[in-house]
Each structure stands twice: as C-alpha cells, then as structure tokens.
Amino acid sequence: MELSEKEKLVLSKKIEQVFDRLWPLCRSITGEGLRESFRILQEIIPLELHEVKSGTPVFDWTVPDEWNIRDAFIITPEGEKIADFKMNSLHVVNYSEPVEAEMSFDELNRHLHYKKELPDAVPYITTYYRRRWGFCISYNQWKELPREGTYKVLIDSTLAPGSLTYGDLVLPGETDSEILFSSYLCHPSMANNELSGPLALAFLYRELEKLENRRYTCRFVIAPETIGAICNLHENGMHLRQKVIAGYVVTCCGDGGKMTFKQTREPGSLTNRVTAHVLDAEVREYRTLPFDPVGSDERQYGSPGFNLPVGVLMRTPFSEYPEYHTSLDNKDLMDFEKMKDFVRTCVKLVKAYNLNGVYENEIRYGEPFLGKRDLYEDLSTKRSHSETIKMRLRLLNYLDGTRDLLEVCERYGYNLLDLEGEIKQLLEHGLLSRVWP
C-alpha cells in the first residue's frame, strides 16, 4: 500500500528530527559517541547491540583500543582558541592520542590538515590504526595563522582497552532466506556520508514491519565501516553465505542526486536483476556502476571467501560530490524528501523480491480452461485477446518451474510490481503453485 501525501510528509519530518539528535554526537569506530548514536537509533529500529573486545582478532584485522574524547583545541600565540572540538568535532583527527604541549608553528604545522581545493572546509581525517594526533582546519584559516610565537595544544582523549559496538536485527519472513540491508555508523559531524544510511535503514525497518505476507526475512546491520562489518562477518558470515539471496549497502542517500546502484561482484546476481528492473520501472533516471573492491562495506561482503550478492544503493556516490569528507557535508546538503523517496524505493525492492520466485503451472498438458474459472473474456464481440488475457496466457505458459517470474517480465516488458494481483488470482484458482522460495 502506497503512503498518502500526509504520511509521506510525516515520514520526511521524522527522519529530519532524528537527524537533528544524531548530528552533534562525535562518533568513531568505537566509543561512547557511537553507543549513544545507537541508543537513539534503537528508538526507531530495535537493534541488538554487540560488543567486540579490543584486541580480538577478526580475520586479518584486530579490533583496536577504544577511543573517547572530551575536549580539544589550539590556543594561538595571540590567545585565540581555534580548532575547537566542542564547536566542530571534525577539528580533531579522529582517534588522536592525547596531547598537552606548547610548540612553535613549524612543529604544530606537522600535525595540521586542510584542503586547498575547498579553502573554507574542514577536512575529515582519521588515524585508527596508528598512534598519532592532529587537527583539521580550513585552508583559509591556516593561511592566517601566526608563524612566530608559541602555540598551546590540548587533546583530552583516551585510548584504552574497551570494545567495538555494532547492531543487527532480523525481521522474520515466511522463509529463512534473507535480504540484507547494511549501513555504517562511525563518522562525526557528517550528514550525507554518515547519517543518511543508518537513518534510511531505521525507517525502512519501520515501513517493512507494516508489510503483510513478508516472504523473505530481512536482516539489518549497522556497524562501524570496514572493521565493524568485518566483526559482523566474523560472527555471522557463514550463516549469511547460506541464507542471503540479495543485499544492499545503503549510503550517501540524503542528497538531491539521482539514484545510483553499484552492482554485486557477480554480474548475473538476483540483486542486479531485481534492482535494474525496479529502478527501470519506478525511478527511470538512475546510474549503474560495476562492482569494484574500492568503496564501502560491499568490499567486505563481496570479498572472495563470502562473495555475497550485495550491491550498493545510494544517490551521489561517495567521493563524487565535493563536500565529501569535509565539514560542508552538513544539513544544508540534505534533502529529507529525497530521503523519504529513497526509503520508499527500498520498500518496492523488497516487494519485488517477495513477489518474484519460481512458479509452476498446475495444468501442464494443454492450455488451462480459463473460461470455467471466469478468467477468460467473451470473445464474441472482440477481434483479438485483450492485453490482460495475453499476459495471463504468457504467465501460465512460461511459469513452468524452470524460470522465475522476473524472467517472464523481462521477456515481455511487464513491471513485476504490477503483477501482484494477477499472481494472487492464479494461485487462488489453483492454476499456479510457488516452487521457490
């Protein structure tokens, strides 16, 4: 059932309200800011949270020490406080070790980061796996810094054994075959590249929960990018290899760009087929990118040992919009109406998977007698079959247990989502049975 215009407006407003609560929190791949973000998301999607201890080996990686930060700033020789963490958490290189010192500009400059091509932006820099510290400022601010005198530097942070937090949730369906939706939560003070994905997943859960007759189980994963996804795969990867029939990493879906789909590692996957079909019919203007092991967590799901059929669903791809990984990726970039549309497209994808499947005609010898079931038109006043009868005859002929419904749609140009009523009718009349799933 489609949302009314009022319900659509409510959905976009709710997404914005949760965004505003998440925005100020300083997140990283571990720490209290990450946990507080999960607690807020749990009000929308009841994720089960998991803690993986620092030092835990996960495949070729090791979970790092937990990082927390309370304050950070620079005092110039003139007494001005700059790079104030409490004003913008991007001012501190994420995962900086603690420091309290006085130094010259030349010494401080080795720890300063800026972006010449975006002179007013504060860049986002991390140092997760190497102990060091640093500050991020705009290039214009860097040019104005005094070159003489003494600077005072403070980063009040801790790096100590703790744990990494990630969340997952299973929304049961009629079968235990799964559609996976995954996003990451770990970036501070960034909107499209950080908060759009988890927010889309959270509100997608709310919409899918309302669906009746969910055939597939839907699994939701929100984890720190890379290391969090690897932790989840270390725990659940073998299960996912057996159960996941399709999946998406959801990211960068809050801007105003056109829909973009990055394909799965295997070109002929069901994910690629269904996504192309639904986007062709429902979105029309979109981009398709081939799989490449450079990007987000599709790298982990598509690593050779797992080779899961997981693509990426987004609007403007990461690194293709100039504000990416800077302070300019803020609320001004967000279009919450587009976010709502993105969620609705994901719902249509799930509906398409639920309707698709392998069906078998119960009357295999000769054409079924549709007239006695009131499924045939009165031909005495017609010169040819209607399009409805043509479609019905085609479905009953080609759905013979050897191909899925999507293949018939592709052959004749039908929109799979438009066939729900027809398939239901043929099932109720005993003309079709569902073979898989």
CATH of the domain at 139: 3.50.30.90
**Mean pLDDT of the 236-255 span:** 98
Would you say residue 380 has pLDDT above 60? no
pTM passes above 0.75:
yes
Q: How confident is the model at residue 378 (pLDDT cuts 50, 70, 90)?
A: low
For the chain, the three-class secondary structure string (H helix, E strand, C coil) is CCCCHHHHHHHHHHHHHHHHHHCCCCCCCCCHHHHHHHHHHCCCCCCEEEEEECCCEECCEECCCEEEEEEEEEECCCCCEECCCCCCHHHECECCCCEEEEECHHHHHCCEECCCCCCCCCECCECCCCCCCCEECCHHHHHHCCCCCCEEEEEEEEEECCEEEEEEEEECCCCCCEEEEEEECCCCCCHHHHHHHHHHHHHHHHHHHCCCCCCCEEEEEEECCCHHHHHHHHHHHHHHHHHEEEEEEECCCCCCCCEEEECCCCCCCHHHHHHHHHHHHHHCCEEEECCCCCCCCHHHHCCCCCCCCEEEEECCCCCCCCCCCECCCCHHHCCHHHHHHHHHHHHHHHHHHHHCCEEEECCCCCCCCCHHHCCCCCHHHCCCCCHHHHHHHHHHHHCEEEEEHHHHHHHHCCCHHHHHHHHHHHHHCCCEEEEEC
What range defines the domain where residue 108 resides?
67-160
Q: Please compute the mean of the pLDDT values over residues 64-88 and round it to a whole number.
A: 98
Asked if residue 275 has pLDDT above 80, the reply is yes
Q: Is the pLDDT of residue 400 over 60?
A: yes
CATH of residue 305's domain is 3.40.630.10
Residue 244 pLDDT exceeds 90? yes
Is 380 or 158 the better-scoring residue by pLDDT?
158
Question: Is residue 76 predicted with pLDDT exceeding 80?
Answer: yes
Residue 379 has pLDDT above 90, yes or no: no
Tell whether 275 and 330 lie within a shared domain.
Answer: yes
Residue 385 has pLDDT above 70, yes or no: yes
Q: Are residues 267 and 382 in the same domain?
A: no
Residue 225: band (very low, low, confident or very high) from pLDDT cuts 50, 70, 90: very high
Residues 217, 253 within the same domain? yes
Task: Say whether both 147 and 175 belong to one domain.
Answer: no
Instruction: Tell me how crowded residue 100 is: count the other CB atoms within 10 A of its CB.
Output: 9
pLDDT band at 210; cut points 50, 70, 90: very high
Answer whether 388's CB lies under 8 Å from 419's CB.
no
The whole-number pLDDT of residue 2 equals 59
Q: What is residue 5's predicted lDDT score, i.e. its pLDDT?
A: 63
Region 118-142: what's the mean pLDDT?
98
Tell me, yes or no, whether 141 and 249 share the same domain. Answer: no
Among residues 329, 355, 381, the one where a domain terminates is 355
pLDDT-wise least confident of 37-41, 151-155, 209-213, 277-281 = 209-213
Do residues 294 and 222 share a domain?
yes
pLDDT tens for 156-198 read 999 999 999 999 999 999 999 999 999 999 999 999 999 999 9
Q: What is the pLDDT of residue 284?
A: 81
Q: What is the pLDDT of residue 339?
A: 97
Same domain, 184 and 269: yes
Final residue of a structural domain among 160, 193, 214 = 160
Q: Are residues 172 and 293 in the same domain?
A: yes
- pLDDT at residue 3 is higher than 80: no
pLDDT bucket at 352, cuts 50 / 70 / 90: very high
What local confidence, expressed as pLDDT, does residue 158 receive? 98
Give me the chain's average pLDDT, please. 96
* pLDDT tens digit sequence for 87-104: 999 999 999 999 999 999
Confidence class of residue 4 from pLDDT cuts 50, 70 and 90? low
Are residue 405 and residue 287 in the same domain, yes or no? no
| Confidence check: pLDDT of 381 > 80 | no
CATH number at residue 391: 1.10.10
Clarify whether residues 75 and 220 are in a common domain. no
**Among 122, 138, 160, residue at a domain's last position:** 160
pLDDT of residue 213: 86
pLDDT at 52 > cutoff 90: yes
Question: Residue 79 has what pLDDT?
Answer: 98
Overall domain count for the chain: 3
According to the model, what pLDDT value does residue 377 have? 79
Shared domain for 72 and 113, answered yes or no, is yes
Same-domain pairing of 269 and 298: yes
